[in-house]
Structure 1
Amino acid sequence: MLPLLLGTAAVAAEPPPLPAFDLERLTVTPTSRGTLLGSDGLLLEPGALRLAMVTHYQHHPLVMVRDGRRVGEVVRERALLHLAAALALHPRLEVGAAVPVLVGQGGMSLAGLGVGELRRAGLGTPLVRARVGLVRMADGALVDLAAEVDAGLPLGRREALLGDGHWSVTPRLAMGLRFDRMRVSLEAGTRLRERVQVGTHSVGSELPFALGVTNVDGALRGELSLRASAPLTGGALWSGEVLAGARYLVSERFEVFAMGGPGLGVAPGVPAFRLLAGVGFDPLWVKQAAPLPIPVVARAPEPEPERGGVREGLPGEGALAVVAMPPAADGAAPQEPEVAEVVDQDADTVADGVDNCPREPGPTSNQGCPESVRQVVYLTEKTLEITERIFFAFDRAEMLPRSYPLMDQVAKVLREHPELKQVVVEGHTDNIGGDAYNRRLSQARAESVCRQLERRGVEASRLRAVGRGPDAPADTNATATGRERNRRVEFHIVPAMPGSAGETTP
């Protein structure tokens, strides 16, 4: 609970008018990919635009206490709406803004104290922010470190305790470090603003700092944050809060989140507890262009081999396979080559070797599977082509749930084709960040795909994960669309070696 402290003598005499100051202590800019409310030195990807909208409730952010007892609730409850945006202009530069809007607040009448009534709504103090990346783990550094500055514009409504009519500046350093599946963040800075007397205490410049821990494994992520401020102004008080929450990554560009917790201390602006909930959105996300369907059965006719020759190829490259015969003895009539029919168990005209569902009839346009399930996996001689992208959490190896149906289909194709003894799962990235970091990330993502396939019944011995990072781009890295296509996963079929158990002999 946060009280406005008034001494006994101050209550007995007519108190001075309640001064204008910004009651808000928590800067709500949930545009970071790393943490919800704070900063961990991790900037957005260049060209990314992040938007967020947050609802914010505070209980007892400003009360009066005499002799240790509450004597009045100046602000009993307060509700705000925060709008925030961040834009990455460069791998090491990000700019942003946040605007709080007071939706409503209620409390005791101050007429008996000779103070005018507080306004119930109004515009809060707009905030502009600049972040500069100093060092990055993506470049091989031990931590992500950024220098940041927030500037509060003197536009907040004074009559609603939303501002004091002066500028405020908060420079700080933010650091982030990943430990396995957890990320730890630390930020510290200085909030510079005019000193204002509030009851028997003052509000002014202070040293805010925060420690946060968040997990980075999976679409659902939890976060715990401890925030505090040490006063630099005489007569001011220490303050703090403990906030816990979760965020759910609905997709790569949309998330929902909620957070809340109690206040610590008695400084003005720290509520008994606060609750926050909101959404984040990336409107500039570019959808990957789906590759063109790969022809499965229809192929250009091949010339017939000469007598005694061999026409080689995969099942499905024609209705017949010609097998070479030994040369005829002198004077004997040449033998006719043996003709072996390509196996097609379900008689749907799609050869088993390229049939995603070799035991269920289906049209060639759907890879030999029933039309009830649209196929997005195409089996070829050397690869399993996929026409949908595999989605991961930003800068993480955790696969998002939206890609689970694709994993179900890839796993089914592999289970239906045990003759594919080994498949290499290759992870690829764009060239943003250090090569070594990108190779580690692509390796981790390839391993994540393998784990998903193993959970769906594919033997681990048939899968091998390889992270190639930025070494084999599929498109240019000079454009956002090209980089989007370079961030991909490929499935390569390893042919059976001669004499191996996986080799088939006509």
Structure 2
Amino acid sequence: MNRPTTSSTRTGTPARLSLLAALVLSTGALAQPAGLPEFEVERLEFNPSGAGSLLINSGQILPGGSYRLALIGHYENKPLTPELIDATQESGFREVNLVAHRTTAHLVGAYGLGDKLEVGLQVPLIISQEQGRVTDTPFGAPEGGFKLGTPIANLNMSLFNQSESIPVDVGVGVSVGFPLGSPDSLARENSLRAIPRLTVGRETDGLRAGFELGADLRPRVSIGEGDNAEAYNRVRLGASVSSVGEGVRYEADILLWIPTGHEFLTAETLVGVRSPLSNDVEVFALGGAGFGDTLGNPNFRFILGAAYGGMPPRCVAGGKHTPQQCPDLDDDNDNVKNKDDACPTDGGKVDVKGCPIKDQDKDGVEDSADKCPTTAGAESAQGCPDQDGDGVQDSSDKCPTLKGPADRNGCPDTDGDGLDDSADKCPSEAGPVDRQGCPAKDSDKDGILDEQDSCPTEAGIPELKGCPAKDSDNDTVADHLDNCPTEAGPADNQGCPAKQKQLIVIKQDRIDIKDKVYFDSGKATIQARSNALLDQMAKVLVAHPEIQKITIEGHTDNSGPADLNRTLSQQRAEAVRDYLTKKGVPAERLDAKGFGPDRPVQPNTTAEGRTANRRVEFITRYADDGQTQPAPQQ
């Protein structure tokens, strides 16, 4: 084992070594005490109940009347390597493998006394013990063979159990070691030793954490002459994390001993695995390393064992338990708890006591509800025969070999459109209910259903209710986009003669204007310079009745309060609407909406942007679908 050193451990070493060397030369032997002291090498204890961790008690105890027995094999490597003064060594000390290997069997048992107390007993039996290659020591070799170790009695008490109001399990306990082991095998103290402890644990999300705080109270013993040759009282800290459940479980443990005398701080870490062989038997293995040179602390140790009994099974659905062990579960899924179920492992359809009900014809329908109790039938037909499986008994089914709904006396819906054939105007063609079972048709494939298509045999466009576009004046501008549909004109003047300059452009979803509608500043008064534009707008709308609806939108920039701008934009849109109405456009074709600054087309960060945002737009709708075409995104 590596021995920690500090500056204090070697203060005055040269002078001391010189003196010791002279003594060695004069006497021919090391000045050391003779014989083995009464000392128990084994420092590790087991958790007798095995709840949570195999080593660390986490506040749990066995329920009243429960018990656990375990047989454990345990190997330790170099658990006792004291130091002797030796001037021939550079360090001035020589390490002695007084116990290089020790193998021990442990019989461990625990029993629950009521809900708050648990007693336990651990009896170790040394199987073999070997000394390392040591010469010229004042110690005799400790005996091996079958020797009794220090028996340990345990008493644990539960103080609090984890619940909604208390987040952890809390307990106290004490272990007492009796001086009954073999002194010649370094397996007993010269008096009682004890470890009182406080234990805390918490279980959550499939894991259990445990913490143990105790005091290792033992007689003072010295072996060897090194700086770490004393064994005495120590503070014991332990922590563990372990998985929970009924299958293979894992755990990790750490033990820390803080000395009150001249020992060094030491620790051990161990990891382990536990696997059940049946409801009552498990096997387990642990292994880990020790850190520090305290007497009794090994380089490493391995543990193998098997246990019978212990904590009762966890009551989870599908777990490894008997119905009697988990009375509040329903193991056969028949909605009767185990404690009330006279047949807890026989599920299916059961009576009030949880036992299978009578079913003479074995059709899954109990006799009390089976209208045909001696003839196997379908559950959907109340236990009577139902050839087509439509839930209508054959005796009442007008179409017993054809599946049909009960409200049609078991007869089918030929086209499968959900309508009874007698109410289906197209019984051989599937169609929606709102069309009385007939399918939607579009004979000319123009995307407009025949009943909405003014020209069902000619492909057309939505703007003209399914009719094709025409050009009456042969000027290459279709009539529905032509501001002058009866007068020929160039396309760049919207189909009007060149002398009639056009300010209006008809598009599919809107009417664009090549000028603006001007208003007095901060008012809804239309300026006279906009009259020509609006007069032309009125003329175009009157000439195009296929444009069924026009929404006049008013917009502003973001100058001033937004609510005031919305009001102003609404008033301006209404002013344009009123103007067009006076010019002969039917009022029912015109809507007015003010959006204020909510829909800018340019950023309001420049004068040009704000000017562009102060505008009036005309949004059109051709199809009579109750919706105005949305303005295109800028």
Shift in Å at residue 20 of structure 1? Answer: 1.8
Q: Secondary structure at the match of 2:32?
A: coil
SS in 2 for 1:251: coil
Which residue does the alignment assign to 2:244? 216
| Cα distance change of structure 1 residues 319 and 43 upon mapping to structure 2, 3 Å threshold | same
Aligned to 2:71: 53
CA contact (8 A) 1:82 1:99 kept: yes
Whether the 8 Å contact between 1:2 and 1:272 is mirrored in structure 2 is no
1:279, distance to aligned residue in structure 2 (A): 1.1
Q: CA deviation at 1:115?
A: 2.6
Please report how far the alpha carbon of residue 116 of structure 1 lies from its aligned counterpart in structure 2 after TM superposition.
2.5
Residues 196-225 of structure 1 deviation map (CA, whole Å, 9 limit, x = unaligned): 111132111111111111122551111111
C-alpha contact (below 8 Å) 1:126/1:152 kept by paired residues: yes
Offset at residue 315 of structure 1 (A): 8.8
Show the 5 A alignment for 1:263-302: 263-282=290-309, 288=323, 291=344, 294=355
Q: Which of the residues 135, 140, 146 maps onto 1:116?
A: 140
CA contact (8 A) 1:262 1:274 kept: yes
Give how far 1:139 is off. Answer: 7.3
Letter in 1 for 2:281: F
Contact kept, 8 Å, 2:49 with 2:61, in 1: the verdict is: no
CA distance 1:284–1:214, change in 2 (3 Å)? closer
Query: Aligned runs of 1:87-486 on 2, under 5 Å?
Result: 87-108=111-132, 112-121=136-145, 122-138=147-163, 140-200=165-225, 201-217=229-245, 219-232=247-260, 234-282=261-309, 288=323, 291=344, 294=355, 313-314=369-370, 317-319=373-375, 340-341=384-385
Q: Give 1:125 deviation, angstroms.
A: 0.5
Q: Which has the higher contact order (CA 8 A, sep 6+)?
A: 1
Task: For residue 113 of structure 1, give the secondary structure of its aligned residue in structure 2.
Answer: coil
Equivalent of 1:19 in 13, 37, 42: 37
Shift of 1:252: 3.1
Distance 1:21 1:342 in 2: 87
User: SS at the partner of 2:275?
Assistant: strand
Does residue 1:39 correspond to 2:57, yes or no?
yes
Larger strand proportion of the pair: 1
TM-score normalised to structure 1 length = 0.57
Distance in 2, matches of 1:249 and 1:342, equals: 51
Given the superposition, is the C-alpha separation of residues 342 and 259 from structure 1 closer, same or farther in structure 2, using an over 3 Å criterion?
farther
The alpha carbon displacement at 1:53 in A equals: 1.1
Listed one character per residue, the Cα deviations across residues 334-382 of structure 1 (whole Å, up to 9, x for unaligned) are xxxx994388x9xxxxxxxxxxxxxxxxxxxxxxxxxxxxxxxxxxxxx
Paired letter, 1:15: Q
Q: CA deviation at 1:30?
A: 4.6
Over 3 Å counting, the alpha-carbon distance change for 1:190 and 1:315 in structure 2 is farther
Provide the C-alpha distance between the structure 1 equivalents of 2:198 and 2:51, rounded to a whole number of angstroms: 17
Give the aligned residue type for 1:246: V
- Match of 2:211, SS state, is strand
Contact between 1:4 and 1:62, CA under 8 Å: does it hold in 2?
no
Return closer, same or farther for 1:160/1:45 CA change in 2, 3 Å cut-off.
same
CA contact 1:4–1:198 (8 Å) conserved in 2: no
Post-superposition shift, 1:47? 1.2
RMSD: 3.7
Distance 1:320 1:202, change over 3 A: closer
Q: Deviations over 1:306-336 (max 9, x none)?
A: xxxxx8625994326799xxxxxxxxxxxxx
Letter of the 2:374 counterpart? G
Contact 1:170/1:191 (<8 A) preserved: yes
Residues 1:205 and 1:189: Cα distance change in structure 2 (over 3 Å) = same
Larger Rg: 2
Letter in 2 for 1:341: P
Q: How many residues align?
A: 322
Q: Give secondary structure in 1 for the equivalent of 2:97.
A: strand
Q: Which amino acid aligns with 2:255?
A: R
How far apart, CA to CA, are the structure 2 residues paired with 1:83 and 1:130? Answer: 17
Q: For 2:77 and 2:235, how far apart are their aligned partners in 1? A: 24
Alpha-carbon offset, residue 236 of structure 1? 2.3
Farther-moved stretch of structure 1 (281-290 vs 242-251): 281-290
Q: For residues 314 and 279 of structure 1, what CA distance do their matches in structure 2 show? A: 55
Distance in 2 (alpha carbons) for counterparts of 1:128 and 1:322: 67
Contact 1:2 1:268 in 2 (8 A): no
Residue 403 of structure 1 corresponds to none
Q: Which residue of 2 aligns with 1:465?
A: none
Rounded Cα–Cα distance in structure 2 between residues aligned with 1:89 and 1:27: 21
Tell me how far 1:108 sits from its aligned partner.
Answer: 3.4
Alignment partner of 1:159: what SS? helix
What SS class does the counterpart of residue 184 from structure 2 fall into? helix
Q: How many angstroms apart in 1 are the aligned matches of 2:157 and 2:42? A: 25
Secondary structure (helix, strand or coil) at the match of 1:130 reads: strand
Q: 1:320 to 1:198 in 2, by over 3 A?
A: closer
Q: 1:179 to 1:291 in 2, by over 3 A?
A: closer
User: How far off its partner does 1:278 sit?
Assistant: 0.6
Query: How far off is 1:18 after superposition?
Result: 3.0
Aligned letter for 1:198?
A: I
Deviates more, 1:3-12 or 1:268-277: 3-12
Alpha-carbon distance in structure 1 between the residues aligned to 2:175 and 2:232: 16
CA contact (8 A) 1:41 1:133 kept: yes
Structure 2 residues not aligned, in runs of 5+: 84-88, 313-320, 325-342, 347-354, 362-366, 390-634
Report if the CA contact (8 A) 2:67-2:110 is conserved. yes
